[in-house]
Amino acid sequence: MSDKEKEKQEEMNSVVGGLFFGEVDEDAIFPYPHFTQEQKEIGKEFTDAISKFATDNINAEKMDEEAEIPQEVMEGLAALGLCGLGVPEELGGMGLDYTLYSRLFAEVAAHDGSTATFIGAHQSIGYRALLNEGTQEQKEKWLPSLASGEKIAAFCLTEPGSGSDAYSIKTKAVENEDGSFTLTGQKLWITNAGMAEFYTVFAKTDHERDGEKIEKISCFIVEKSMEGVSFGEKENKMGIRASETRAVYFDGVKIPKENVLGELGKGFKIAMNVLNSGRLSLGAGCVGGMKTIMKMATEHAVGRKQFGQSLTEFGMIQEKLATMAALTYAAESVVYMTTGNMCKGMKDYYLETAVCKVFGSESLWEVVDTSLQIAAGNGYMKEYPYERMMRDSRINLIFEGTNEILRCFLSLSGIRGPSEKLKELGKISNVSKALEDPIKSLGVLTDFAKNRITKMMPTRSLSKAHPRLEEWASEFSSMLGGFSIQVENTLMKYGKNIIGNEHPQKRLANMAIQLYVMIAVISRTTSILNDEKLDEEKKEYCFNLAQHSLRRAKHEFVSNLKEMTKNIDKIEKELSNQVAKNGGYGLDIIDF
């Protein structure tokens, strides 16, 4: 790699973050990061091996019924190397990059949601903090046995009173005179809890600041063998029933100082970094699930005859098949655009992985629901896998940050940069008042006005898009300008109070998601249309997938854009308060 390429790696910024400024770096978008020849060879070899193993050994229906993953299945997965996908080879892992990691995880998820949950909880979050923050000694001590599957890991953050509000955890670690810590508290909804030997645990610790004692979050390695570690009963879940979920209790557990992960008091950031990368594999897993259930629904639609015709000849079924395919194409494009940039050196990818999780999980849910509708009565029967896959899929909208909290996270993180840029203007109470002193405000307001006018003028921002996608590249540019103006309008309207206003947060997040979807789809389709080795039939298929997904993205974007200024937010707030006061609907047709 040349010095120039290395320099470019170091300065690569978040693509989604740039959208909030009304900017897009085409070098981070084009060409689409398709698999290299080496990645293709490794990917084919391992996905084939996973598929064969799963077909022969994973009985998803039986595992769901018995609510357990057989020991031989877990051992077989470990033997394939699936417990150490991202661990360096010298420490016993496969040393895969983000792209291959995601593709192999998607292959597991394509066969069974519970198995994917077990694998993901183990390595995507279970020991990820060790991989990210561990010292060399810590990594050498624990990673080999974790990568081999000899030991299983679990991630312990959530508590009975602390879900999305991670900073409100109550579990406490008190430092002892010898530098060790005594841990007391409990964790809830912990995947792999009972079978794990290694726990990444987050707890409050005491710190001094300006002479006062304050609490911060720190991260610890806890082992099952430590005295005082115990567990609740296995939870009886709606879906992913074969994966194990329990509460974990810590009753005066003594933790040696060597088991502190990272810097004391920096645990919140460590936890967020773990979840940021974990959301990527979740998004990839959703793509795997979408492909599987769509294949089932398509086979049913092709084979099922009604009124002397195949279901595929009816317009509303055609609409469903087309929508499912377009959603899958879009979600897949988003995931691997993200992994490609992560492999190229993008450091701040938390906005991208949040999009992967939100868009992937909601697309999967729609595909599962649509597939079940195509299957009709069959889909509702336990004899067929549709209903199980629906139950398994629902958790993805909740896992690793609910989609609601991630929308807040996306918008508030995204507007942070523009808010700094507008800080000088923000010192003025409003634009009209600023004009009363034109000498003082002229420079600031003139630059601001020029910037606004530029954003209002549609330009060809995606100059590298394929000519057949030129119309969509132009649409994207216009939408991007409108979005960045709405970001500025929102900042000026709400100021710091934007934190307490979730309606505009949601709409900004939704618009950012759809813009990123459009970027990924345009880039991927451009690469496909430019590939001279691909046959024309495949190119046309991908072009149609792109048109459908881009049209849908635009529709979603425009809907949210309009609602930024014309909405029923006040009515919804008042109505919600009335519902809460009524304890529900509160009406009976007899009386009202």
Cβ neighbourhood burial of 562 (10 Å; 0-12, 13-18, 19+): exposed
**Residue 252: which region, alpha, beta or left (left: phi > 0; alpha: psi -120 to 50)?**
left
Cβ atoms 270, 205 nearer than 8 A: no
Question: Considering only CA atoms, which of 300, 312, 327 is closest in space to residue 381?
Answer: 300
Please spell the DSSP secondary structure of 154-191, one letter per residue.
EEE--BTTBSS-GGG---EEEEPTTS-EEEEEEEEEEE
Could you give the CA distance from residue 183 to residue 175 in angstroms, rounded to a whole number?
9
Q: How far apart are CA 32 and CA 22, in angstroms?
A: 21
The answer to whether residues 17 and 351 touch, using CB atoms and an 8 Å cutoff, is yes
- d(CA 380, CA 295) in angstroms, rounded, equals 17
Active-site option among 400, 488, 556, 563: 400
End-to-end CA distance of the chain, in Å? 74
**Positions of E strands within 149-279:** 153-156, 172-175, 181-191, 198-209, 212-223, 229-231, 245-255, 260-261
d(C-alpha 301, C-alpha 413), whole Å: 43
Q: What is the CA radius of gyration of the chain?
A: 25
Q: Single out the residue of 513, 523, 480 nearest to residue 29, CA to CA.
A: 523
Q: Give the Cα separation of 65 and 217 in Å (integer).
A: 39
Strand-pairing partners, residue 185, are: 250
Classify 105 as helix, strand or coil.
helix
Helices (H) then strands (E): counts for the chain: 23, 10
3-state secondary structure 457-525: CCCCCCCCCCHHHHHHHHHHHHHHHHHHHHHHHHHHHHHHHHHHCHHHHHHHHHHHHHHHHHHHHHHHH
**Pair type for strands 212-223 and 198-209:** antiparallel
What phi and psi values does residue 457 have, to the nearest 5 degrees? -90, 110
CB 390 within 8 A of CB 372: yes
Active site residue 563: no
Contacts of 495 (CB under 8 A, 6+ apart): 426
Q: Could you tell me the CA-to-CA distances from 392 to 67, 68, 560 in Å, in that order?
A: 12, 14, 29
Phi/psi at 157 (nearest 5 deg)? Answer: -125, -50
CB 520 within 8 A of CB 476: no
Residues carrying an active site annotation: 400
